[in-house]
Structure 1
Amino acid sequence: MPLITNPILPGFNPDPSILRVGEDYYIATSTFEWFPGVQIHHSKDLANWELVTRPLTRKAQLDMRGDPDSCGVWAPCLTHDGEKFWLVYTDVKRKDGSFKDAHNYIVWADKIEGPWSDPVYTNSSGFDPSLFHDDDGRKWFVNMTWDHRRRPLLFAGIALQEFDPKAGKLVGPITNIYQGTDLELVEGPHLYKRNGWYYLLTAEGGTAYDHAVTFARSRNIDGPYETHPDKHILTSKDAPFAALQRAGHGDLVDTPDGKTYLVHLSGRPTTQERRCVLGRETSIQEAYWGEDDWIHVKHGPVPSLHVEVPGTRDEAKYWAEQRYTFDNGLPIDFQWLRTPEPERILSTETGKLRLFGRESIGSWFEQALVARRQTHFSYDAETVVDFKATDERTMAGLTAYYSRYNFFYLAVTAHSDGQRELLIMNSEVSWPDGKLSFPADPVQIPNEGKVKLALTIRGRKLQFFYALEGQDLQPIGPVFDASILSDECGGHQAHGSFTGAFVGVAAHDLNGTASPADFDYFTYRPVKDPTDRYEV
């Protein structure tokens, strides 16, 4: 079989849940505060993946206004019971401190494209829920549990309870079936059944550099569960120089010819600070079952950068320039932040992307920021904006964005006297106060006319550019450190920032008048840079 290079879903695509239905593979990944919720990719060969849907598209399913950074949709689980697709997900409203407000829901659909049902609420006792369909027809809901009294760690084990689909609720006793190992922080449970054994796959060690996939089994679904002889079947925690770090939170799938694969999250750190700008990505490993009915990762437990899968990846497609227009609506690669009411922040009726300026950049409620994932270590981005700024509280432009504490923003704005200008704002040193810095003097521009805005990222170096109509691009401002757009600089302690870098367009109107900004197109151009050590 051909070799491919991990990750299979580059850029911010963590917590993979994989499923095969016939010849079709699907992977669901977390989207956190980005709307619509949950990304589902499709493949025929485990090598080439296409984003086909985001099922949580309406207010009845998901409303994340007010969810802090790196909250929102955590760790979805996608399954199929032979008749329909089931999706389990968490909407996290608070994660920092002793309490976590994490609400779990279930939706379903006959086809992967939907329509997906309104949600059934299940519980709020913890996060990372999954749904297991037993061969006797019963369905079991599994999630980690949270205990705010425990010290120093608050993870209290894996809980199991039956789900009654006709009643639309959890029924019967709750059983804590697994406490994890001495690595602690047990989460991300998935149940399987094989040869009379119930198998429990979990994640441990937190989602940073001690992350791991742990495996256990029992003859009874409610335990007791015996931990794998190797304890962790996949981890990079003892291999600091491996290409794929932070390996953990996995899920298993079998191919039609009987091979087994493990998908898992991973990170590719760059710079001496080991920063994962592309966030937590989805990788794949081949696994096999031993004669003792335990699973093992081929060449594991350290994840392999190169893996044999049935298909060959289309490298030309991966490196192709993406020029987005808006004649047919918002392209699927783009998301926005939190709100289930996109009509209040954007429109494509004119064939352009019109953003209506709302709250400030970094708002946890309603802001007009539309962006796509950074999926390459080096790239160019470009857009043209038509925006009649009236004062310093109106702005629109191009942004490289991680969170409210980490972004770079080149905006068309105006002085208090109404004179338009270009201004760079960043939050490189904003945590924990959220204060902006202005690293260059504003550049005065005419009050009428479109402006071309661009940026280049080469590894950790970010440079903005601009051009007035009929002129060539010229640099503006200093070279920035793009590596701060990373989990490690996301404004939280370790294990606290979970997304990845985005690039896109934004409009903000702090006067509350929803002033519109029109964007003609958006270009994302991957660049092969020999300094990018782990580029796929």
Structure 2
Amino acid sequence: MPKIRNPILPGFNADPSILRHNNTYYIATSTFEWYPGVQIHSSPDLANWTLLTRPLTRKSQLDMRGDPDSCGVWAPCLSHDGHEFYLVYTDVKRKDGSFKDTHNYIVTADTIEGPWSEPVYVNSSGFDPSLFHDPDSGRKWFVNMIQDHRRRPRSFAGIRLQEYDAEKGKLVGPTKTIFPGTELDLVEAPHLYKRNGWYYLLTAEGGTGYEHACTLARARDVWGPYEVHPQNPILTSEPKPDAALQRAGHGDIVETEDGKWFLVHLTGRPITQFRRCVLGRECAIQEAYWGDDDWLYVKNGPIPSLEVEVPGKYDEKPYWEEKRYTFDAEKGLHIDFQWLRTPETERIFKIQDNRLHLIGREAVGSWFEQSLVARRQEHFSYDAETVIDYSPTDERQFAGLTAYYCRYNFFYLTVTAHADGQRELLILSSEASWPEGRLQFPLADPVQIPNEGKVKLALSIRGKSLQFFYALGEDAELQKVGPVYDASILSDECGGHQAHGSFTGAFVGLACSDINGTALEAKFDYMVYRPVRHESDRYE
């Protein structure tokens, strides 16, 4: 088999759930506060993946206005029971402090592209739910971590099991905590499987940082008792801090048509001496095999491998291609783009006259309604640019180009105006300002620009360095504006929370705010995302 290089889904693609159906592979990943909810990629060969769909597209399925950063959709589980697809997901309304509000739902569809059904509410007892379709009995089992706010220092209280009745659309029968976890702690992300008369329970432990891991246990009965793998954990980067793939954990397994097995898992690739994962939690794959003792082992594990043999041969050309996004009302917004939290897109953007109109709403970083349309950063170095047509009247109206992680961490080159109405360029940044979420002062000196005319805005990231540029007019030469910023703060490690608290990744995109409340629109002609191979990049 040919070798591919991990990760298979670069950039923010966390918490993978994998499924093979009709010889096509699908991976569902978490989207957190980004809308629409859940990313589903497809592949014919485990090597080449295409973003296919995001199934949670309607207000009735998902409304995340008010969800804090790194809340929203956690750890979806994609499965098929022989008749239809099932997607289980959590909408997290609160995660910090002693309590977590985690509402679990199920939607179904006849085809992977949808349409997906109205959601069935299941429970709120914990997060990371999955659904296991027992191939022998035909029964369905709902399994999720359980939380107990009385536990100290963490509320993780084990893995809970209950039967799910699809016809009634609810949980039925007794419920039981079937697995307390191991000494690795913080047990979550359960997936159940059945093979050779054994029920196997794959979980994540150790948190989402550098101690993350995959733990495997098994039992003869679905209710347990479960014994732990003799070489627990089966996957982790923790013993090897210099490994290329770090933070390895939260996995799922799949069997190929010819009987080979693979484990997909989240991972991170740190840069700088501070070990910052600027691309967030990515998705990698490892070959696995069943031993004579009926235990699953990761080939060359437990440390994850950067290069892995898979059935398909990877074509790296699409990964390095420039993306030039134009705006067509009939085609709609390109699938690469997402926005934050709201299902009511008509209030934040529209495509008209072959331009993207962003409708000024709340300030950048709002947890309710901000106009920000962005795509994932998938490369350690890249260029981005756009052309904006915008006529602000004061300092409370601003729009432009942003490199964004969350309300606590962003860089934002804006077209705005002085209090006297004179238009100007101003860079807003909120570098590692948790818990205040304040702009960093002093701001870079504003650049006065004419009150009329389009402005080209651009940025370049080379590893940890970010530089903004601008030009007056589409054909003028770009010139630098502002200092060189530390782009590495657009990372989980600096994402506004303490350890194990930031879960997304860096984006680049277009934004518009009008905190006067007059909904002034900014018009964008296009956006370019241009990957760059750079000598400072350790992995490329």
Within-5 A mapping of 1:471-486:
471-486=476-491
Within-5 A mapping of 1:44-443:
44-135=44-135, 136-327=137-328, 328-437=331-440, 438-443=442-447
- Please give the secondary structure, in 2, of the residue aligned with 1:231: coil
Shift of 1:431: 1.6
Shift of 1:102: 0.4
CA distance in 2, matches of 1:254, 1:497: 32
Shift of 1:152: 1.9
Determine which of 447, 452, 459 is the counterpart of 2:451.
447
Partner of 1:499: 504
Amino acid across the alignment from 1:367: Q
Q: Which 5+ residue runs of structure 2 have no aligned equivalent?
A: none
Partner of 1:515: 520
CA distance in 1, matches of 2:469, 2:332: 27
Partner of 1:534: 539
Shift of 1:478: 0.0
Shift of 1:349: 2.9
Shift of 1:430: 2.2
Shift of 1:308: 0.3
CA distance in 2, matches of 1:434, 1:248: 30
- Please give the secondary structure, in 1, of the residue aligned with 2:9: coil
Partner of 2:34: 34
Q: Does 1:487 align with 2:488?
A: no
CA distance in 2, matches of 1:322, 1:311: 25
CA distance in 2, matches of 1:165, 1:83: 12
CA distance in 1, matches of 2:388, 2:273: 37
Shift of 1:215: 0.1
**Large movers: runs of 4+ above 2 Å:** none
- Please give the secondary structure, in 1, of the residue aligned with 2:352: coil
CA distance in 2, matches of 1:363, 1:109: 33
Shift of 1:350: 2.2
CA contact 1:439–1:478 (8 Å) conserved in 2: no
| Range with bigger deviation, 466-475 or 65-74 | 466-475
Partner of 1:10: 10
How many residues are paired up? 535
CA contact 2:432–2:494 (8 Å) conserved in 1: no
CA distance in 2, matches of 1:134, 1:351: 50
The CA deviation string for residues 322-345 of structure 1, in whole angstroms up to 9 with x for no partner, is 001111211000000000101100
Partner of 2:470: 466
- Please give the secondary structure, in 2, of the residue aligned with 1:488: helix
Q: Does 1:21 align with 2:1?
A: no
Amino acid across the alignment from 1:73: V
Shift of 1:153: 2.2
CA distance in 2, matches of 1:138, 1:521: 51
The CA deviation string for residues 163-202 of structure 1, in whole angstroms up to 9 with x for no partner, is 0011000111111000110011000000000000000000
Q: Which 5+ residue runs of structure 1 have no aligned equivalent?
A: none
Shift of 1:67: 0.2
The CA deviation string for residues 10-65 of structure 1, in whole angstroms up to 9 with x for no partner, is 00000000000021000000000000000000000100000010000010000000
The CA deviation string for residues 207-265 of structure 1, in whole angstroms up to 9 with x for no partner, is 00000000000000010100000111000011101000000000000000000000000
Change (3 A) 1:208 1:269: same
CA distance in 2, matches of 1:429, 1:121: 37
CA distance in 2, matches of 1:231, 1:129: 22
Amino acid across the alignment from 2:353: T
- Please give the secondary structure, in 2, of the residue aligned with 1:118: coil
Amino acid across the alignment from 1:509: D
Amino acid across the alignment from 1:315: E
Shift of 1:439: 3.2
Amino acid across the alignment from 2:58: R
CA distance in 1, matches of 2:447, 2:476: 15
Change (3 A) 1:429 1:10: closer
Alpha-carbon RMSD: 0.7
Amino acid across the alignment from 2:63: D
- Please give the secondary structure, in 2, of the residue aligned with 1:365: coil
CA contact 2:432–2:489 (8 Å) conserved in 1: no
CA distance in 2, matches of 1:429, 1:174: 43
CA contact 1:429–1:435 (8 Å) conserved in 2: no
Shift of 1:434: 1.4
- Please give the secondary structure, in 2, of the residue aligned with 1:434: coil
Q: TM-score, normalised by structure 1?
A: 0.99
Change (3 A) 1:429 1:278: closer
CA contact 2:470–2:478 (8 Å) conserved in 1: yes
- Please give the secondary structure, in 2, of the residue aligned with 1:454: strand
Shift of 1:280: 0.3
CA distance in 2, matches of 1:329, 1:352: 11
CA distance in 2, matches of 1:434, 1:269: 24
Q: TM-score, normalised by structure 2?
A: 0.98
- Please give the secondary structure, in 2, of the residue aligned with 1:348: strand
% identical equivalent positions: 75
CA distance in 1, matches of 2:439, 2:291: 56
CA distance in 1, matches of 2:445, 2:537: 32
CA distance in 2, matches of 1:483, 1:398: 18
CA contact 2:387–2:455 (8 Å) conserved in 1: yes
CA contact 1:485–1:500 (8 Å) conserved in 2: yes
Shift of 1:429: 4.3
CA contact 1:334–1:371 (8 Å) conserved in 2: yes
CA distance in 2, matches of 1:382, 1:349: 20
